[in-house]
Chains A and B, each alone.
Chain A
């Protein structure tokens, strides 16, 4: 089964920073990769799908890129509401199987 490993597992930053989170797959995967943001006590919200497509309503400071085994989520200029945990997720179609990365907790420095 495909495994997704995020790095770093935690990250300290300040408002205005540019932040990059990496998601590495254990084998080459299609670009059916998504990124989610989760705040404490809340369900995740979709940020990016198909590796680089911005979900409707998500601020343009969020962007995704990558292919093969390495994917990245970038926040161009961190805002106070961006401190949260971020997850990558892959959907394998055949056979259907969903995999999440272990999460990256973004904290204020």
Chain B
């Protein structure tokens, strides 16, 4: 069974940093199109970042220059390094694997940015 498990969320002050992890089983993160998608409280879904199986990376304008996506082949884990966090980054962060579409999702990890 394919499974994605996120971790690393927490409460951080504005300007702070966090690293989110997405541990995969049943698929290899570096061989797939992987994304981070977030959902602010009571709001809709927002794509954040993607890493393709050729190693190329892409970002939403709202996080460009502050967030970095990466993958660790031997740990089979996707990461999202988040710097210069803002109040508006408060959200549940999901990792998702793109096959036909985003067909596999993790359960999410919650990030809160507050002073």
**Residues of chain A having any CB pair with chain B under 8 Å:** 34, 36, 38, 42-46, 49-50, 53, 55, 87, 89, 91, 95-103
* A96-B52, A98-B50, A100-B46 known; A89-B101 Cβ under 8 A: yes
B7 → chain A, closest Cβ, in Å?
15
Of listed B37, B44, B94, B101, residue having the most chain A CB within 10 A: B101
Chain B interface, >50% SS class: strand
**Residues of chain B having any CB pair with chain A under 8 Å:** 35, 37, 44-47, 50, 52, 56, 58, 94, 96, 98, 100-103, 105-108
> Considering the complex of A and B, which 4 residue pairs feature the smallest CB-CB distances, nearest first?
A34-B101, A98-B47, A43-B105, A49-B100
B46: A residues at CB distance < 8 A: 100
Q: Which one of B44, B50, B105, B107 lies within 8 Å of A100 (CB-CB)?
A: B44
Contact B108 A43 (CB under 8 A): yes
Contact B58 A97 (CB under 8 A): yes
